[in-house]
Amino acid sequence: MTARTQGAQAPASAPARVSPEKLPADASPSARAQWLRDELERNSYLYYVLDAPTIPDAEYDALFRELQALEAEHPELLTTDSPTQRVGGAPLAAFDSVRHRLPMLSLNNGFDDEDVVNFDRRCAQGLGRTASAAPADDLFSAADAAENSVEYACELKFDGLAMSLRYEDGRLVQAATRGDGETGEDVTANVRTIKAIPLKLRGKAPAVLEVRGEVFMYRADFDRLNARQAEAGEKTFVNPRNAAAGSLRQLDPRITAKRPLSFFAYGIGELQGADRPAMHSVMLDGFAELGLPVCTERRVVKGAQGLLSFYREIGERRDQLPYDIDGVVYKVNAIAEQEQLGFVSRAPRFALAHKFPAQEMTTTVEDIEVQVGRTGAITPVARLAPVFVGGVTVTNATLHNEDEIRRKDVHIGDTVIVRRAGDVIPEVVAVVLERRPADARAFVMPTACPVCGSHIEKLEDEAIARCTGGLICAAQRKQALLHFAQRRAMDIEGLGDKVVDQLVDQGIVRTPADLYKLGVAKLAALDRMADKSATNLIAAIETSRETTLNRFIFALGIRHVGEATAKDLARHFGKLDNLLVAGEAALLEVNDVGPVVAQSIANFLGESHNVEVIEQLRAAGVHWPE
């Protein structure tokens, strides 16, 4: 089992566990089967809804196998709400149509503060509460100042698939998609595989309860699913919403059972055998008591200012949520007031979806260039036709690496889907292949670094290509200097990030050899560098001239050459000159040096720029015992 339901609401207390030893030794198969069903459902509820498991996976699996065996031996004991029925049955020929007894209507959208203020004003006026007209420079303060402000329930707008669950006498009998609002598709067999959805409600359930909610996929589960799909050579999904929708519409429920789907309840349809709660917020609390997962990211507020406060708070935390949302939803909290406000154009007057800026948009790839990172990593970047996404205008998007470009089949000239979530670097998530122009061009990875001209290497079993000009590449300059100066390398105390930033940004230092040309006056002129600090740093640089061969090799920053490998190289070759002329064959003779490490060393020392810096360091007096 894998936890899926962070953010679901827990009732005041979970039911106490009944251990297997409490059952009579001579319990009948029927009693044993019932106990096993109860125990498995209780632990699924604790695990998938409350995120508070009390038994290890192995124990749960043992109970599940026992129930399977018992039902196979006694078929008459099999029930539709048995946990064994979640694994998925035979494939369907097609989905049957389901006509919703109460339509699943859509919500009107709002996009800015004024839309929200107008929504609150309409609700207040419709309920006979005349909201004061807000002054031009403060859209909502006057309305909120009124004592009779409307009370609202605020929730998240999940980016998933709307779903209707019908329970009769507490048992799940039907699940249907929203469809066109009037008619949806019967996906009961697939929904039964979603472990967060109870097959049987807890406590005393109404004769008929239709629960409205959203099927979605947690981001972490989505990432794991895509990793499994890619590993199996199967198609990956663009985003969690597409993955959820595609999983629910599988004609083979056994496929759906393998997809990590989750569910949040947020509304009610048909209800028989019980009174409707007086408040929407109370209804959600009641759902949680019945064992249905309900999101805890909700609040009851008053007036437009309360609505906008919730919107802004969630907007700030949107990227930290474990699931995708595309806005928040406001609903008049009192059910009687909802009924009084009614509907218009097949949308409720009492509710509003306040949308966030879109995080996915389509645009075209005008070119693909590469950027060089601090560690030499070569990252392809798509130059895009400007598009407004995630609240900003985007002109560039990362393509990660050459393998990703091939996997996504991105060509220059393609129309692509671009995603931006908060401060995350925009990325190209998919190509709209049907819009590919005839003159689209495939990307070709350059063989030389665009910054320093050094050779670009891509080692075996690595996805990322890298520049081999570690000591001279301007893009890697700061990282190379910091690595060179660290305690386990040349041990230049006082040469930290802020000093390196200034030395490089002001063009004072280009390579590690330039450090040995520095004087106190030059250093003292740096920001926040006093004469004493400058003197101490010069002393540390002078001291570093005397080192050991293994420390010097490690300080060069050759990829895959750590301290242990540097010691092995120094011990094997004895002298730096021997190492400088060693080919891959000679390097492979060194203890613990394999083909990847040997190739990395050979590539680094094969760059004349790097060897030139090494000679400059020796000329500056850096030495070690031979």
Active-site residue set:
157
In this structure, what token pair is assigned to residue 215? Answer: 């099927």
SS3 label, residue 136:
coil
Instruction: Determine the Cα–Cα distance for residues 609 and 513; give it in Å rounded to an integer.
Output: 12
Instruction: Determine the Cα–Cα distance for residues 623 and 547; give it in Å rounded to an integer.
Output: 6
SS3 label, residue 338:
helix
Give one DSSP letter per residue of 357-425, joined into a string. Answer: PPSEEEEEEEEEEEEE-TT-EEEEEEEEEEEEETTEEEEEEE--SHHHHHHHT-EET-EEEEE--TTSP
Other C-beta atoms closer than 10 Å to the C-beta of 184 total 21
Residue 168, phi then psi, degrees to nearest 5: -120, 120
Instruction: Determine the Cα–Cα distance for residues 287 and 281; give it in Å rounded to an integer.
Output: 10
> Residue 391, by phi and psi: left (phi above 0), alpha (psi -120 to 50) or beta?
left
Residue 327: Cβ-neighbour burial (10 angstroms; 0-12, 13-18, 19+): buried
Instruction: Determine the Cα–Cα distance for residues 280 and 82; give it in Å rounded to an integer.
Output: 31
Give the number of residues written for the chain: 626
Contact 166, 175 (CB under 8 A): yes
Instruction: Determine the Cα–Cα distance for residues 36 and 28; give it in Å rounded to an integer.
Output: 12
Contact 160, 215 (CB under 8 A): yes
Integer angstrom CA distances of residue 42 from 7, 167, 195, 199, 201: 19, 18, 12, 11, 11
Rg (CA), the chain: 32
Measure the N-to-C terminal CA separation of the chain; round to a whole number of Å: 59
SS3 label, residue 590:
coil
Task: Name the residue type at position 533.
Answer: S
Instruction: Determine the Cα–Cα distance for residues 222 and 173; give it in Å rounded to an integer.
Output: 28
Task: Name the residue type at position 5.
Answer: T
Question: What angle, rounded to 10 degrees, do the helices at 608-619 and 595-605 form?
Answer: 70
In this structure, what token pair is assigned to residue 437? Answer: 């122009």
